[in-house]
Every structure is written in structure tokens, then in C-alpha cells.
């Protein structure tokens, strides 16, 4: 990888392409970047009848106010960008997307009138602007009006409709409720759902996990053991169990990854090195893990172990996802039989540093 840092790691993970040599953390997304592979899936698969084909929750990539390269459709066109749904730590069952929320004084009838007006204005300019950008703009308008006018769209994002026992199984955090929503969206047939780990800055500071979320430069052992891993394990195990019990796991590819690994030896210099009371780990782009489950993946195996004869890369993981997600039908191997079923859907959980 070009740099041993977050920005290039995000780009590699989300696109399957190594970033250029000069890729500082200040580098902004460009229109000719390689696209997020979820955008490729959304572009190639038939559109969902009532929901976006690529949904990203509960937070955008990067620090507040910043935009990470790799998380967008880029050269594919803005119409294939993720559809964002936002959550909060204080109200974990409440999600918001401006794209599906009508203002209080706007009825469906007024929305329809506005759409007709916009269409008439667009028609007058179509002969002048017959460009790819104009087509993308029209596609975005069509999607926005379709979502705003659909009650079914809003209900798909309502995790409070789930029974108390189900929500309790996942846990009462925004990341847990995001995984529950991912199950609801997978059940509704959305092709690609991204759960982007939304870490809590205040809780990180309180616990001394000063790198932020999974960036364990400080207190690696306790931050993982007492905080991060329990917060992940509970909803993730619930997600797999839930998909399995509903007969959805074989037809849903679940992926978990991060932007890089961490050094095999403890002792990050910025937290006191090996002599620290509780040492941390630094960035390590040379080796990391990607978890795949469901979607016909045979469980209980390790492909490309570090130090072993086999080797793998993010490109292989991305290519595997493409093959599984973009085939018109996919061979699913189950304990009882091999059958051919409709194309898979995907839930990707990114354990990135915000």
C-alpha cells in the first residue's frame, strides 16, 4: 500500500484498488476515482422496486465534515452513490435520512405537483443539456421523488417495529440497531447494505482508548476486551443468527473488514512503547483479516494465513464478492444440497476508524 495510514487503507478496502503513491489524509474524493464496489453492485443489479439499491448507515465515512475517497460511485456517476441513513448514540432506535423525510406542511399531493413542475422545467432544458450529467441528475430526481412518496420506504427503516426481544438480542447501541436494520433491509431485498461502525468519541476518551474506535494506539488489550469486542460480538452474532433463522443467511453475503491490520508486536511508541503500563498497537498494512459468512461461504476455514503457503489480498475478497453478487444466479452450497438461487444480497460491516 502507498502509505501505512487510514486514508489509503480506506480506498483500498472500499474499491479493491491500491491508492497512488501520493495519497495524504487531506486527499479529497475525485470524480475519476475507482468506485466503491457497493456502487458497482448497485449499478449492475436491477433496481429495487421501492428502496435504494445501496444503503449506508449510520454515519458517513471520515471525521465529521470530511469525505473519505473510495466511499463513492466516482466515475460510475453520482446516481450510484450510497443512500445515507443517519443514527445517533443518544437515540439508537431513531434513524434519519433527509431523502425520505417530507417537511411537515408538504403532503403527497403537493409533492406530486412539485415533481410535475420540475419535470416541465427539466424538459425545457433537455435539448440543451443532453449529457451524461443531465441523465444522472434526472435519475437522482426520480429516485428522490419515489422514496419521498413511498410509505413502505419509511417503514423499512423503522427498527422500533421489531419486537422488544429482538432488539434486546442485538443490544441498545446505534451500531447494534444498524445491524438490525441491515437485517430488515436484507429481508426487503436491498442488494448492498453497509454498516459503518460509528464510534463514540466521549466513551473512547472516558476509557482511555484515545486512538478512536478500532485504532488501538493506546491500551490495546482492555479497549478490545472490555469495550470494542463485546460491542461488536453481541449484535454481529445476533445478525448471523437472525439471518439464519429467517432462511436468509445462504442468500446473504456478510463481510467484516477494516482499513488495515495492527502491528503483530505490542508497543506503539506514541503510547509509551513496549514499556508502557498497557501498550498499544500501530498501523500494519502488511497483513490483516477479512471475515466472510453466509452467501454459500463454507464456515470454519482460514484462507491465506499469515506465514502460510497461501496468500490473499483485498482484491481477492472484492473479486469474490463481485462474482457472488453480480451473477444472475448463484450456486449456494448448503448442508443438504447444492441449489441455484437468485442473486445474493450483501451486508458489509466496516470496522474503520472514524
Is 57 among the domain residues?
yes
Q: At what angle do helices 108-126 and 132-148 cross, to 10 degrees?
A: 170
What's the pLDDT at 244? 96
Helices (H), 188-265: 201-207, 220-223, 229-245
**Distance between the two ends of the chain, CA-based, in angstroms?**
20
For residue 262, give the H/E element and its range: strand 261-262
From residue 215, how far is each of 67, 90, 219, 245 by CA, in Å?
19, 23, 10, 34
Beta strand residue intervals within 61-176, DSSP E: 83-84
Domain total in the chain: 1
247 or 110, greater pLDDT = 247
What does the pLDDT read at residue 70?
93
What's the pLDDT score for residue 351? 86
| 325 CA to centre of own chain | 15
Q: Is residue 296 part of a domain?
A: yes
| Grid coordinates given for 342 | 437468485
Domain presence at residue 133:
no
pTM of the model: 0.82
266 pLDDT higher than 80: yes
Q: C-alpha distances in angstroms, 38 versus 34, 124, 154, 181, 229?
A: 12, 34, 22, 17, 26
- pLDDT score for 226: 95
User: What's the pLDDT at 144?
Assistant: 53
In this prediction, residue 229 has a pLDDT band, given cuts at 50, 70 and 90, of: very high
| pLDDT above 60 for 121 | no
Residue 110 lies in a domain: no
Instruction: Name the 3-class secondary structure at 85.
Output: coil
Bridge partners (DSSP) of residue 283 are 262
d(CA 330, CA 325): 8
User: Which range, of 40-44, 189-193, 244-248, 331-335, averages the lowest pLDDT?
Assistant: 331-335
Residue 353 scores a pLDDT above 90 = no
Q: What percent of the chain has pLDDT over 70?
A: 71
Tell me the C-alpha to C-alpha distance, in Å, between residue 79 and each of 9, 102, 211, 347. Answer: 25, 21, 35, 20
**Which of 303, 67, 45, 330 is CA-nearest to residue 193?**
45
Q: How far is CA 44 from CA 116, 262, 350, in A?
A: 29, 34, 22
Full domain range(s) for residue 283: 6-102+149-350
Q: Does residue 263 register a pLDDT over 80? A: yes
The residues near 308 (Cβ < 8 Å, ≥ 6 apart) are none
| Tens digit of each residue's pLDDT (9 = 90 or more) over 169-220 | 999 999 999 999 999 999 988 999 999 999 898 999 999 898 888 999 999 9
Task: Tell me, yes or no, whether 31 lies in a domain.
Answer: yes
Give 121 or 138, the one with higher predicted confidence.
138
| Better pLDDT: 17 or 102 | 17
Write out the DSSP string of 278-291: S----EETT----E
Q: What are phi and psi of 100, to 5 degrees?
A: -120, 15
Ramachandran angles phi, psi of 347, nearest 5°: -120, 115
> How far apart are alpha carbons 295 and 334 in whole angstroms?
10
Give a yes or no: residue 320 inside a domain: yes
* pLDDT tens digits along 270-304: 888 888 989 999 998 888 888 999 988 888 888 77
d(CA 345, CA 122): 34
- Grid coordinates in use for 354? 472514524
Give the pLDDT confidence score for residue 118 in this predicted structure.
Answer: 43
Amino acid at each position: 500500500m502507498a502509505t501505512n495510514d487510514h486514508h489509503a487503507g480506506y480506498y483500498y478496502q472500499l474499491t479493491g484498488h491500491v491508492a497512488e503513491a501520493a495519497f495524504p489524509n487531506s486527499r479529497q474524493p475525485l470524480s475519476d476515482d475507482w468506485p466503491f464496489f457497493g456502487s458497482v453492485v448497485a449499478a449492475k443489479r436491477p433496481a429495487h422496486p421501492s428502496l435504494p439499491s445501496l444503503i449506508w448507515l449510520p454515519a458517513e465515512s471520515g471525521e465529521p465534515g470530511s469525505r473519505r475517497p473510495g466511499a463513492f460511485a466516482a466515475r460510475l456517476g453520482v446516481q450510484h452513490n450510497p443512500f445515507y441513513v443517519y443514527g445517533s448514540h443518544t437515540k439508537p432506535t431513531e434513524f434519519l435520512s433527509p431523502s425520505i423525510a417530507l417537511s411537515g406542511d408538504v403532503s403527497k399531493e403537493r409533492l406530486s405537483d412539485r415533481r410535475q413542475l420540475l419535470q416541465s422545467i427539466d424538459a425545457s432544458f433537455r435539448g440543451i443539456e443532453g449529457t451524461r450529467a443531465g441523465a444522472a441528475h434526472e435519475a437522482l430526481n426520480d429516485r428522490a421523488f419515489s422514496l419521498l412518496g413511498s410509505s413502505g420506504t419509511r417503514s423499512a427503516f423503522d427498527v422500533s417495529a421489531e419486537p422488544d426481544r429482538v432488539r434486546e438480542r442485538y443490544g441498545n447501541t446505534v451500531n447494534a440497531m444498524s445491524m438490525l436494520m441491515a437485517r430488515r433491509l436484507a429481508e426487503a431485498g436491498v442488494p448492498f447494505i453497509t454498516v459503518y461502525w460509528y464510534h463514540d468519541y466521549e466513551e473512547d476518551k472516558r476509557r482511555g482508548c484515545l486512538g478512536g474506535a478500532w485504532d488501538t494506539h493506546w491500551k490495546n488489550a482492555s479497549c478490545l476486551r472490555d469495550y470494542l469486542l463485546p460491542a461488536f460480538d453481541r449484535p454481529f452474532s445476533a445478525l448471523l443468527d437472525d439471518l439464519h433463522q429467517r432462511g436468509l443467511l445462504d442468500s446473504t453475503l456478510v463481510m467484516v473488514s477494516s482499513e488495515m491490520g495492527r502491528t503483530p508486536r505490542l508497543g506503539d511508541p506514541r503510547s509509551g512503547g513496549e514499556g508502557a503500563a498497557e501498550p498499544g498497537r500501530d498501523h500494519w498494512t502488511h497483513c490483516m483479516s477479512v471475515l466472510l459468512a453466509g452467501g454459500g461461504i463454507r464456515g470454519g476455514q482460514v484462507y491465506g494465513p499469515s506465514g502460510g503457503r497461501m496468500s490473499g489480498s483485498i482484491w481477492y475478497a472484492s473479486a469474490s464478492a463481485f462474482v457472488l453478487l453480480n451473477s444472475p444466479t448463484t450456486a449456494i452450497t448448503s448442508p443438504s444440497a447444492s441449489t441455484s438461487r437468485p442473486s445474493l444480497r450483501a451486508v458489509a460491516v466496516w470496522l474503520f476508524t472514524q
